[in-house]
Amino acid sequence: MKSLNNIHSQVPEHVAIIMDGNGRWAKEKGKIRTFGHKAGVKAVRAAVSYALKSKVKALTLFAFSSENWNRPVDEVGVLMELFKLVLGSEVKKLHKNNVKLRVIGDTSRFDSKLIKKVHDAEELTKNNTGLTLNIAANYGGRWDIVNAAKTLADKVKSGELTTAEITEELFTEQTCAADLPVVDLLIRTGGEQRISNFLLWQLAYAELYFSDIYWPDFNEQTFQDAVNDFNHRQRRFGKTGEQVS
């Protein structure tokens, strides 16, 4: 048992979630995989609702990875349609709740209708000051890092910057989560214990929480369980336990 001194009952500022297990959830019910993706929308609402209530500052949800293009064409198609549908149906409510919605990832590969929907949603909510909700779509952690490196290389080339001036802070500013607090807590549902090329740079010191439940079964209680677990961790950031307690 950890001593009570080590318990900090803080709300994590930035929570990232790998929403995994939709396909297996559906399969166990004798349904096709895409049935699980559709059922997962309810869990997304629950995650946002919990984040709003508990005053989490930023929530980043992994919706589609750069590797997910390798799935069967039909499944990718359904995921894209679902993304469009959900953006359309949820944006007003998010806006009403003062949520700033952003899509992070290489959206250039999406069809023009989806690109417009993303753009409109971001425009509508850009001045909101409550929760920042990032949807990671066609996102890859390596892509994010390479992009940041390219931007910095261009700045050096143009003489705006010298190599010696590149710091971790400056590098962070070129990534997708530039203006967000670092990730405090990463939750992954679906039983796998891996990062799957999600936020690599930003997860450097995140607490990791893995849950066996499939994403469609995720609810506010699951989120609370993860936060409770987070609150029992001692975050040492390289120091000794005595130094931080």
Query: Could you give the CA distance from residue 180 to residue 15 in angstroms, rounded to a whole number?
Result: 11
Distance CA 108, CA 106 (A): 5
Assess whether 20 carries a catalytic annotation.
Answer: yes
Name the binder of 65 from ligand IPE, Mg ion, none, CB < 5-8 A by kind.
Answer: ligand IPE
Q: Which of positions 177-236 make contact with ligand IPE (CB under 6 A)?
A: 190, 192, 194, 196, 215
Output 24 or 155, the one with its CB closest to ligand IPE: 24
Query: With respect to ligand IPE, which residue has the nearer C-beta, 46 or 156?
Result: 46
Task: Provide the mask over 72-101, with x wherever binding to ligand IPE is found by CB under 6 A and - wherever it is not.
Answer: -------x----------------------
Kindly state the smallest distance separating residue 27's Cβ from ligand IPE, in Å.
Answer: 7
Please state the closest distance from residue 219 (CB atom) to ligand IPE, in A: 17
CB of 22 to Mg ion, least distance (A): 7
* Residue number, 20 or 144, with CB nearest to Mg ion: 20
Rg over CA atoms, the chain: 19
Tally helices (H) and strands (E) across the chain: 8, 6
Asked if residue 20 binds Mg ion (CB under 5 A), the reply is yes
Q: End-to-end distance of the chain based on CA atoms, in angstroms?
A: 15
Residues with Cβ within 8 Å of residue 74, at least 6 apart in sequence: 34
How buried is 31 (Cβ within 10 angstroms: 0-12 exposed, 13-18 middle, 19+ buried)?
A: middle
18 binds ligand IPE (CB under 6 A): yes
Q: Is 22 a catalytic residue?
A: no
CB of 215 to Mg ion, least distance (A): 9
The whole-angstrom separation of Cα 189 and Cα 178 is 26
Residue 201 in tokens? 């740079």
Strands 58-65 and 132-139: parallel
* Strand partners of residue 210: 188
Q: Which of 20, 134, 144, 184 is catalytic?
A: 20
Residues forming contacts to Mg ion in the complex (CB under 5 A) are: 20
Annotated catalytic residues are 20, 68
Residues forming contacts to ligand IPE in the complex (CB under 6 A) are: 18-24, 62-65, 68, 79, 190, 192, 194, 196, 215
